[in-house]
Amino acid sequence: MLRPVPALRRERLAAFLAFAALGAALFLYMKPWTFGGALNDDWAYLLPARRLAETGRLRLTDWASGTQVAQILWGAFWTKLFGWSPGILRCLTLLLALSSGLMLSFLLEGAAEPPAARLLAGFALVLNPIALPLAVSFMTDIPYLALLLGSLLAFRSALTDDRESSWAAGSFLAAAAYLVRQTGLLIPLAPTALLLLERRLTLRRAAQAWSIPAAALLSHAAWFHWAHGPTWASENYVWSATLARLANPAVFGAEALWRLFCLLAYAGLFCLPGSLGWTARRRTWRGWAAAGAFLAAGMAVWARRGGLPYLENLFAPSAVGTLTLSGAAFKPAGFLAARWFWMLATGMALAGGALLSRAALEPALDAGKERGPGRGPSALRAVGRGVSPAGRGAFLLAVCALFQVLASLLGAKYFDRYVLFFLPGAIALAFRGAWGKFRLAAGGAVLAAAAAVSIAGTADYLAWNKAKWDLGLKAVSAGLGPGRRPSALRALGKGVGPAGLRPPMIIAGFDWGGYWGYEPAMESLKKAKPLSRIGEWEWQSVFPAAAIMSWKPPERVPWRPVAAESYATPLSPRRGTIYLYAPGAPPPPAGEGRKRYNALRTGG
């Protein structure tokens, strides 16, 4: 229901304080500022941001397929302010993730009661094993999500008060989202759809919603075409790979169904705190039929393909976060490596997906009597009856999620992190309605378990990546000779260690290789051939492999171990160890270098 203004302000203040407390706990426990390397492919945005801050030159990376501009400007601004520090940029991303959860709780005002239910909904968006590892990176996913939710929040205000400033804010944030990822252009479709349902769409309101995103689209297209020029991704991936998929309707249809199933399974798992105890105002055969159909499909998939994970990238056996080293079977992972955990997660995902399917097709039990026109807080209403003021936020979330999903079905690749853009709409469906004591208790317990998995897994993700980067940088800097003290992060490709070892010559995962070697490798390849003839992974073969990192112990690797780095993980009482191997041991350097080299070999 719509709350009196003083009560609403108190509830918002309480939500803000709750998220501030959560943020303080996450910062103090995970310490994201202590890690200065790259995670997954966030190097594709870190490097252009640093270049823009230091040289004033805006140049997109060839790797990324998004529009990138706003992400790079964001990173360059803070780099100018605080100096070059990937750790600070990660802290800012975590703040954006917390802001996203807070904005989601605001959008559900009137659709989920009491306020504790909305707080659980906001926490569910942040404390899952997809969002949290992204929140400690410089990937575009979290900034895009924050812009999307901020735009919807502004549009909800505009639909209520019809102020120019509210329309301008929503339109501006949608344009900024477009300048991070192309799908940001779809955000104004949500308020447009609501205006159509309420029969209030006019040329003026349409212009207010669409003018700034349209200007951003045209300006970016002109700049990219006339000033910047094509990238490898724009030439080989963005449109060509998508059109190639659409050229085979049968294959595209089968893949689209598979992606939709995975989307519901993952979203069902992350929305389970809201789905448990969900009570329909009126049970319908459609809701039960949808739940039964999904459950039957899920059991068939489980019998044929096994359990989770079904999508790759962030949520996988042995790790939360992207695994980039070989030998994951030797990584201390505790319950994340246990078969029972993944069987339990699969069962919960199927149950959650079934409950979410049912919730999408049945009206929720009223959250309370509403103050103002309209009835009931259900997210989706029949055409012509309009949407109640209390249900506008949930409606915008659901419609926006629908368009984001449709766009993701067209892409050539589909990773588990793409579920994140559907999640706010799924949460709006799962968490709406009236919450009794049982639902609050059950939802809180499930959310606490999910948060424990996500926080421990993300802390482990940062720990082993820090160990990996420390090991690689020690290997590069060892043996430089007495009197030389290389900094922890040397200039790209210029750190030379034993036998001329340079960072791109170490096989240490996609993130390490991309950070140190992608741009110089692509410059070399672009001089030799046109973009259309460069393979997706061809850049990895430009530098010779002189060393490799792995969790595999020495008796499992034919190369000779030359270094090791251990780390503590919250997943296991056993410390993890990452080894550095080389085809042959380099000659030990003399003097002080010998001591450093010996310490390196033993992990000191």
To which residue do tokens 């309370």 refer?
368
Give the pLDDT confidence score for residue 601 in this predicted structure.
46
Please, are residues 318 and 129 in contact by the beta-carbon 8 Å criterion?
Answer: no
Q: Is the pLDDT of residue 356 over 60?
A: yes
Helix axes 115-126, 423-431, angle to 10 degrees: 150
How many whole angstroms separate alpha carbon 414 and alpha carbon 350?
20
Give the pLDDT confidence score for residue 4 in this predicted structure.
64
Which pLDDT band holds residue 485 (cuts at 50, 70, 90)?
very low
For residue 307, the number of C-alpha atoms closer than 13 Å in the C-beta half-sphere is 17
Stretch 41-52: mean pLDDT: 96
Which pLDDT band holds residue 497 (cuts at 50, 70, 90)?
very low
How many whole angstroms separate alpha carbon 507 and alpha carbon 514?
11
Give the pLDDT confidence score for residue 2 in this predicted structure.
54
Residue 86: asked if its preceding bond is cis (omega within 30°), the reply is: no
Which pLDDT band holds residue 434 (cuts at 50, 70, 90)?
confident
How many whole angstroms separate alpha carbon 377 and alpha carbon 394?
9
426, two tokens: 């799924």
Please, are residues 576 and 595 in contact by the beta-carbon 8 Å criterion?
Answer: no
The DSSP letter of residue 183 is G
Stretch 289-313: mean pLDDT: 95
**What residues contact residue 179 under an 8 Å CB cut-off, 6+ apart?**
67, 68, 69, 70, 216, 220
39-43, 83-87, 182-186, 491-495, range with the lowest pLDDT: 491-495
Give the pLDDT confidence score for residue 40 in this predicted structure.
93
Q: Is the pLDDT of residue 586 over 50?
A: no
pLDDT per residue as tens digits for the range 226-270: 999 999 999 988 888 788 888 889 999 999 999 999 999 999 999
Phi, psi (5° rounding) for residue 136? -105, 20
Stretch 534-543: mean pLDDT: 92
Give the pLDDT confidence score for residue 595 in this predicted structure.
53
H or E segment to which residue 316 belongs: strand 315-316
H or E segment to which residue 572 belongs: strand 572-582
Please, are residues 548 and 507 in contact by the beta-carbon 8 Å criterion?
Answer: yes
Give the pLDDT confidence score for residue 602 in this predicted structure.
46
Name the region of 475 (left: φ>0; alpha: ψ -120 to 50; beta: rest).
Answer: alpha
487: helix, coil or strand?
coil
Average pLDDT for the chain:
88
Please, are residues 575 and 564 in contact by the beta-carbon 8 Å criterion?
Answer: no
Stretch 51-69: mean pLDDT: 95
How many whole angstroms separate alpha carbon 539 and alpha carbon 57?
23
Please, are residues 95 and 9 in contact by the beta-carbon 8 Å criterion?
Answer: no
Stretch 354-378: mean pLDDT: 62
How many whole angstroms separate alpha carbon 499 and alpha carbon 496?
8
Stretch 93-111: mean pLDDT: 96
Give the pLDDT confidence score for residue 364 in this predicted structure.
66
pTM listed for this prediction: 0.91
Stretch 129-142: mean pLDDT: 97
For residue 586, the number of C-alpha atoms closer than 13 Å in the C-beta half-sphere is 25
pLDDT per residue as tens digits for the range 379-426: 344 333 456 777 899 999 999 999 999 999 998 889 999 999 999 999
Of residues 368, 345, 603, 304, the one with CA closest to residue 457: 345
How many whole angstroms separate alpha carbon 461 and alpha carbon 459?
5
Helix axes 5-30, 86-107, angle to 10 degrees: 150
Which pLDDT band holds residue 480 (cuts at 50, 70, 90)?
very low
Alpha helix positions (H), 362-480: 392-408, 423-431, 437-477
Stretch 560-571: mean pLDDT: 93
Give the pLDDT confidence score for residue 264 in this predicted structure.
96
The neighbour count for residue 365, using CB atoms within 10 Å, is: 19
